[in-house]
């Protein structure tokens, strides 16, 4: 597998630290709102990477964090008159729902910043002891110039940065380039006790700490959106490597932006769609497919036209798979053994599988991998029929399912519930509610939701619709 490494700015052959294992950390969301589809890009991309590496036989230890203490969370909690924890817990729950809808696998560990404060204090203490950090009036700063290699990831020169006018010069700092590791408590904000007084951590320290705690001081891959290269990842390297004296991460992977009208989609610009909004208009896997249809290092411009195109392309795959299932399930085919022609076609299908793998091996070129899937769809559509042998159709079907599955695309569609079945379940739910068995009632509602049926309780009774 060749991976483009932001650190070396080259595609490099991936060699894990420990054979057969991958230690991977992906920076997660700040949980103060529903995520937008730009935030979904790294989640989907690095999930596809993980799935492919698992398919290759690696054991992937995948850690991603929740930033659950931050100015934006605090601001929202003040606006709503609730605690910061209430805000973050609510959006962690919503984030998980979005990830499930997009078929993003649950991380091996998913730590929250607020539960790792002790580790952060320890790392800050060790940085102070080693002369890489200092305290001023309850604030601890990282002494950026103490880390000689600062700038090695973003290829920025510290002197140029310092000359840049956009960096605010704070009175307290010894140097304008120094960044905050710990800040003192402000009234009404969440805070923790520390050797420097009550306060809360800066943003960068959490990832250094969680990565070391759950994966060790040296990891294989660190990933996130390209906006994180500077300063976040640059600062993480400075913290982690100064603390451990070891190389923090061997490969740095960054996805390009999801844009809208060629501008980065972002909360602050207001030019965003939430995953929730889009999933009300399209089946969630259309959004996943849309993201995978482009190479992760190319900017991707979001538009309704492209989503429609993604929907149509995905439908072509699903229709083909559905047709193969129809042939297989209806006893239309006989076990007659493969014909010579079918054997040749199987070789063609295997070659397409190889082509797919070669694309994935080339820095996760999911767009080309999907092109290979389409060639296989074409092969299936032209050659699988009621006259084919069962062995042949099964082979093509399983290959198609596998190639989609590696990308996290569910090509096998659950059978749709019939109207009568839905109504029966709704009746059962009403009966459960009457008996005050709310757990059962909720279970039935969730079961229906999973099959794409949305219930609406109205004064006139229960109404339902298909998603």
Site residues (CB under 6 A) for ligand AMP? 27, 29-30, 38-39, 41-42, 224-225, 227-228, 255, 257-258, 264-266
Residue 441 neighbours by CB under 8 Å, 6+ apart: 429, 432, 433
Nearer to Zn ion, 128 or 207 (CB): 207
Q: Would you state the structure tokens that stand for residue 175, as one six-digit string?
A: 């140097």
Nearest distance, CB of residue 408 and ligand AMP, angstroms: 18
191 touches which of ligand AMP, Zn ion, none (CB within 5 to 8 A by kind)?
none
207 touches which of ligand AMP, Zn ion, none (CB within 5 to 8 A by kind)?
Zn ion
Residue 35 neighbours by CB under 8 Å, 6+ apart: 29, 94, 95, 98, 274, 275
Nearest distance, CB of residue 211 and Zn ion, angstroms: 8
Q: Is 229 in the site for Zn ion (CB under 5 A)?
A: no
Alpha helices in 264-365 (DSSP H): 275-281, 284-292, 304-329, 340-361
**DSSP code string of 100-119:** HHTTPPPPSB--BGGG-HHH
Nearest distance, CB of residue 49 and Zn ion, angstroms: 17
Nearest distance, CB of residue 409 and Zn ion, angstroms: 28
Give residues 90-109 in contact with Zn ion (rule: CB under 5 A): none
Nearest distance, CB of residue 312 and ligand AMP, angstroms: 24
Site size with Zn ion, rule: CB under 5 A: 2
Residue 136: helix, strand or coil by DSSP? strand
Nearer to ligand AMP, 225 or 231 (CB): 225
Nearer to ligand AMP, 284 or 432 (CB): 284
Residue 324 neighbours by CB under 8 Å, 6+ apart: 380, 384, 393, 396, 397, 400
Nearest distance, CB of residue 124 and ligand AMP, angstroms: 21
Nearer to Zn ion, 70 or 178 (CB): 70
For residue 156, the number of C-alpha atoms closer than 13 Å in the C-beta half-sphere is 18
201 touches 189 (CB < 8 A): no
**Strands 263-264, 258-260: parallel, antiparallel or unpaired by DSSP?**
antiparallel
x/- letters, 19..48, toward Zn ion (CB under 5 A) = --------x---------------------
Distance in angstroms (rounded) separating the CA atoms of residues 295 and 282: 22
Q: Is 207 in the site for Zn ion (CB under 5 A)?
A: yes
């Amino acid at each position: 597998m060749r991976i483009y490494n932001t650190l070396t700015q080259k595609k490099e052959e991936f060699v894990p630290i420990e054979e057969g294992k991958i230690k991977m950390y992906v920076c997660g969301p700040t949980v103060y709102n529903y995520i937008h589809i730009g935030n979904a890009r790294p989640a989907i991309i690095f999930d596809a990477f993980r799935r492919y590496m698992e398919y290759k036989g690696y054991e992937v230890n995948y850690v991603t964090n929740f930033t659950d203490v931050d100015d934006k969370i605090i601001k929202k909690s003040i606006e709503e008159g609730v605690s910061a924890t209430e805000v973050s817990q609510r959006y962690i729950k919503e984030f998980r729902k979005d990830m499930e809808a997009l078929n993003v696998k649950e991380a091996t560990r998913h730590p929250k910043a607020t539960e790792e404060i002790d580790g952060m204090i320890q790392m800050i203490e060790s940085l102070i002891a080693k002369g890489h950090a200092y305290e001023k009036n309850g604030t601890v700063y990282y002494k950026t110039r103490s880390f000689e290699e600062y700038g090695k990831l973003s290829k920025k020169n510290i002197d140029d940065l310092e000359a840049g006018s956009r960096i605010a010069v704070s009175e307290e700092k010894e140097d304008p380039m120094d960044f905050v590791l710990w800040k003192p408590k402000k009234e009404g904000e969440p805070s923790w006790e520390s050797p420097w007084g009550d306060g809360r951590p800066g943003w960068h320290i959490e990832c250094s700490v969680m990565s070391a705690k759950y994966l060790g001081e040296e990891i294989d891959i660190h990933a996130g959106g390209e906006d994180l290269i500077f300063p976040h990842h640059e600062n993480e390297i400075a913290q982690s490597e100064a603390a451990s004296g070891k190389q923090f991460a061997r490969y740095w992977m960054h996805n390009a932006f999801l844009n809208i009208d060629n501008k980065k989609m972002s909360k602050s610009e207001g030019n965003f769609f939430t995953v929730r909004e889009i999933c009300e208009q399209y089946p969630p896997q259309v959004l996943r497919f849309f993201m995978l249809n482009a190479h992760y290092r190319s900017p991707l411009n979001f538009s309704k036209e492209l989503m429609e195109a993604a929907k149509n392309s995905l439908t072509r795959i699903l229709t083909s798979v559905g047709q193969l299932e129809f042939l297989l399930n209806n006893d239309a085919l006989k076990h007659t053994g493969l014909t010579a022609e079918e054997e040749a076609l199987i070789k063609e299908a295997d070659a397409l599988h190889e082509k797919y793998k070669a694309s994935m091996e080339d820095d996760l070129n999911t767009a080309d991998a999907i092109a290979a899937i389409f060639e296989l769809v074409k092969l299936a559509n032209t050659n699988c029929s009621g006259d084919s042998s069962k062995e042949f159709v099964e082979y093509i079907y399983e290959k198609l399912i596998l190639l989609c599955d590696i990308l996290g695309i569910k090509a096998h569609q659950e059978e749709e519930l019939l109207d009568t079945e839905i109504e029966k379940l709704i009746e059962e739910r009403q009966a459960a509610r009457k008996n005050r068995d709310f757990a059962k009632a909720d279970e039935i509602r969730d079961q229906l939701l999973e099959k794409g049926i949305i219930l609406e309780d109205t004064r006139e009774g229960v109404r339902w619709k298909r998603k």
